[in-house]
Amino acid sequence: MGDRVRLELELEQLSQQIRYHEAAYRAGVPEITDGAFDDLVDRYQELAEELGIEPSERLDVQPGQDHTAGFETVEHRVPMLSLEKLSPNRRDSGGEPMALSDQLSAWFRRRRKELEVEELPIIVEPKVDGISVSLLYADGVLRRAVTRGDGRKGDVITKQVNQLGTVPTKLKRAGKGEMEIRGELYWPLTEFARFNATLEKPLINPRNGCAGMMKRKDPEGLEKSGIRAFFYQVAWDDGAKLPPTQRETLQWLADRGAEVYLSEVFQTVSEEDALQYCEDYQARRGALNYDIDGMVIKIDDLGLYARLGATGHHPHWGIAYKFPPERKPTQLLDIEVSVGKSGKLTPVAILEPVFVSGTTVSRASLHNFVELERKDVRVGDIVLVEKAGEIIPQVVEVDTSKRKRGAKRFVAPDACPTCGTEVVSEEIFVYCPNPTCPDQVRERLRHFASRGAMDIDGMGEVLVDQVVDKIGVRSPDELFRLDVDALAALDRMGQKSAERVKAGLEAAKERGLGRVLNGLAIRHVGETMAEDLAAYFKTADALLDFAARYVAEDKDAVETVAPAKSAERGAIEGLARKSADSIFHELDSPAVRKVFSGLADVGVSLSVRAADVREVADVAGKTFVLTGTLPTLKRTEATRRIKVAGGKVSGSVSKKTDYVVAGDDPGSKHDKAQSLGVEIIDEAALLDLLGDAE
Ligand code: AMP
Ligand code: ZN
């Protein structure tokens, strides 16, 4: 497999993982830490950059959005940022992998240069894997507790924190005035195990458990959990006399009755020693009564922090060291082939259950048959398993020294294991081309009902499986025809849940064309493409007419979305010729047309939602390029607002660009715009153009 193909594959896997974890975040049941999520996003951006994928074609990710419905939100006076990471994936400007020690030296070199000093005091602390919390104390009394949220604003969890009984509601020796203290809520492992043993359905791990508990609307009983908090920072204060170093701040906090991890910190002036401490700490990790996911290396002089500053993403006073993921050997019992929603066949490793990074793993994706062949994984082999991004299990390699004689190479199937249809290959993937294949039907319906697509309240995977198996539902429109009685008769349902599902179905009818298109699981149509198609064509009729013309090779139609001159851009940003062929052929197929007419019959809205387009005269039809960090808008938000207003966002500057929106540290795009004479505007001017359009 070529390098590029491998990277593209990794990018696809990353985007699936990011989508999955975003949905989990939004649902209030995150499975990985904010940091692990940011790592996935960082790696995605890094790869996308490397592969030359334009920003407008990348995933729209808004990391760390953990707002939970029903919680009051407040803005943080000082944002709660992420931390920069030492990363095993980082490469230098020549493309060579960079050792962690070199990354750390480079980081310190920059800091010393900024500060014009020869040496910096360093403190190393454990990076506690819990939930960040910001605590406002007034005259020493706890007034408010807020989660990190998206870093700018978080959810108010004062009642919940107060109920714990472990976080001081009053600080000792407190003076007058207000101050905000930052810390990490965490669930001690022994307390977690004790609490978990009392539950019918055990929690996956202490971190998720803690996140879920702190977002309980009714705080009653939280004091029985044993959840506690470490304090480690004073974010701002009203002139309290604070000590000059981080180390002394921890002591100062301890003196006020807060819990701190003073016994675990290490002070030095040597970068090598700091890194060594991080590496050695792994051995001590298992003896702690709380989870940590790495270490934080900080400059131990708070007086320098204001001068060091921050980016919108992380402060410059510290950098995180992440522990390498745990790897465990286990036996591969079997290789199963699963059929996905678009017919893709994926080999799955069935493993002798093994405990890795906090959960028991018994299945792992083997991604595709090319990858499988490259790794030469065979049934019966001893394989090494690790969790990528701390959650998705992967087979990393085979221990061929332990291979039994006679173990056979795995051969990719030439027929679908479910329906027996002969498979087709497209690039490195293998598909079952039969749209009525039972596994595909089931996966498509699951996807259609899911949160990212039609978001049908109450219609989870278990229920979808039941309506497929017991009622015989085969296509999305049939979901809307289900009646309450039929639903109520299913396992673990009842009149009330059936009515809720029915109401969920009614509500889903109004989600609009973009969500419908995403829900149909058409190959190459993800969330962004679905919304872009909807915004451009406005109605399903217009889209299907166009698809028919495209398939009939109507020149105008083809030129509209896939101009022959490669320098020109089609009407839909990021739609390449090959995907266009595939998308419009599939849309024009009898199977998809039937689904659309079925959906129209049951009253599902097949037009773009009014809220999704609010054309603004100065923006509609114009092409924008974003560069640098904008002062207030995240790039994803700026992109969204431009698109909603009818504009386009492109990744590179050309003569066709109408505006380059430049923020801080603009890149080469700024220079190119100048040389081409393209108008350069700032965020304020962009906001003016957008008017008050949301
Ligand atoms: P990340 O989310 O991985 O970018 O890391 C930033 C988060 O790490 C902060 O929001 C804190 O909640 C958390 N954290 C845990 N331990 C520490 C520590 N010792 N110092 C600073 N931040 C910490
Ligand atoms: Zn099949």
% of the chain exceeding 70 in pLDDT: 92
Q: Does domain 514-601 sit in CATH 3.50.50.60?
A: no
Backbone angles phi, psi at 239, to 5 degrees: 80, 25
For residues 549 and 164, what is the distance between their CA atoms, to the nearest angstrom? 64
Q: How far is CA 434 from the centre of its chain?
A: 32
Lowest-confidence segment of 127-131, 404-408, 463-467, 632-636 by average pLDDT: 632-636
Count the Cβ atoms, other than its own, within 10 Å of residue 514. 21
pLDDT for the residue numbered 95: 65
Fold of 438-508: DNA polymerase; domain 1 (1.10.150)
Nearest CA to ligand 1 atom 16: 127
**Secondary-structure percent of the chain, ordered helix, strand, coil, rounded to 5:** 40, 20, 40
The reply to whether domains 514-601 and 623-690 share a CATH topology is no
Residues with CB under 6 A from ligand 1: 34-35, 38, 80, 82-83, 125, 127-128, 132, 148, 184, 232, 296, 320
Q: How far is CA 37 from the centre of its chain?
A: 5
pTM (two decimals): 0.59
Long-range CB contacts for residues 542-545, cutoff 8 Å, separation at least 24: 543/513, 543/587, 544/587, 544/588, 544/593, 544/596
Higher pLDDT, 184 or 386: 184
pLDDT (average), residues 121-132:
96
Confidence grade of residue 137 (pLDDT, cut at 50, 70, 90):
very high
Instruction: Choose from 77-86, 355-364, 458-467, 471-480 the range with maximum mean pLDDT.
Output: 471-480
- pLDDT at residue 63 is higher than 50: no
Extract the tokens encoding 142: 């706890």
pLDDT for the residue numbered 204: 73
Q: From residue 391, how far is each of 21, 32, 326, 428, 519 by CA, in Å?
A: 10, 7, 11, 25, 25
pLDDT (average), residues 565-581:
76
pLDDT for the residue numbered 665: 72
Given the CA of residue 322, which atom of ligand 1 is nearest to it?
3
For residues 645 and 627, what is the distance between their CA atoms, to the nearest angstrom? 19
Extract the tokens encoding 28: 């209030």
pLDDT (average), residues 572-590:
87
Query: What is the domain class of 103-322 according to CATH?
Result: alpha beta
CATH number of this structure's domain 623-690: 3.40.50.10190
pLDDT for the residue numbered 278: 97
What is the crossing angle of helices 527-537 and 635-644, to 10°? 20
| C-alpha 182 to ligand 1 mean position (Å) | 10
Contacts of 558 (CB under 8 A, 6+ apart): 550
For residues 218 and 211, what is the distance between their CA atoms, to the nearest angstrom? 14
Nearest CA to ligand 1 atom 12: 132
Backbone angles phi, psi at 80, to 5 degrees: -100, 100
- pLDDT at residue 159 is higher than 90: yes
Q: Which pLDDT tens digit goes with each residue over 6-59?
A: 778 778 878 877 877 776 665 555 566 555 676 777 778 777 777 777 665 677
Given the CA of residue 314, which atom of ligand 1 is nearest to it?
4
For residues 566 and 554, what is the distance between their CA atoms, to the nearest angstrom? 19
Fold of 328-410: OB fold (Dihydrolipoamide Acetyltransferase, E2P) (2.40.50)
- pLDDT at residue 567 is higher than 70: no
Fold of 1-61: Helix Hairpins (1.10.287)
Backbone angles phi, psi at 635, to 5 degrees: -60, -40
Given the CA of residue 230, which atom of ligand 1 is nearest to it?
16
Q: Which pLDDT tens digit goes with each residue over 640-680?
A: 788 888 888 887 788 888 999 988 777 778 888 888 889 99
For residues 347 and 374, what is the distance between their CA atoms, to the nearest angstrom? 13
Extract the tokens encoding 193: 């195990």
| C-alpha 435 to ligand 2 mean position (Å) | 8
pLDDT (average), residues 553-581:
82
328 burial level (CB within 10 Å; 0-12, 13-18, 19+): middle
Return the ligand number nearest the Cα of 147.
1
The amino acid sitting at 381 is D
Return the ligand number nearest the Cα of 79.
1
Backbone angles phi, psi at 103, to 5 degrees: -65, -40
- pLDDT at residue 91 is higher than 80: no
Q: From residue 145, how far is each of 62, 80, 183 by CA, in Å?
A: 23, 13, 10
- pLDDT at residue 64 is higher than 50: no
Nearest CA to ligand 1 atom 22: 127
Backbone angles phi, psi at 178, to 5 degrees: -105, 155
Count the Cβ atoms, other than its own, within 10 Å of residue 415. 12
- The DSSP bridge partners found for residue 579 are none
3-class state of residue 69 by DSSP: coil
Whether 326 and 357 have beta carbons less than 8 Å apart is answered as yes
Confidence grade of residue 416 (pLDDT, cut at 50, 70, 90):
very high
Q: Which pLDDT tens digit goes with each residue over 270-311?
A: 999 999 999 999 989 889 999 998 999 999 999 999 899 887
Nearest CA to ligand 1 atom 18: 127
Average predicted confidence (pLDDT) for the chain: 88
The amino acid sitting at 366 is L
Backbone angles phi, psi at 330, to 5 degrees: -160, 170
For residues 530 and 60, what is the distance between their CA atoms, to the nearest angstrom? 13
Instruction: Answer positive or negative: Cα dihedral of 605, 608, 612, 613.
Output: negative
Return the ligand number nearest the Cα of 430.
2
235 burial level (CB within 10 Å; 0-12, 13-18, 19+): middle
Domain boundaries, the chain: 1-61, 103-322, 328-410, 438-508, 514-601, 623-690
Positions marked active-site: 127
pLDDT for the residue numbered 511: 93
- pLDDT at residue 366 is higher than 60: yes
| C-alpha 339 to ligand 2 mean position (Å) | 7
| C-alpha 443 to ligand 2 mean position (Å) | 12
Which secondary-structure segment (H or E) carries 370? helix 369-375
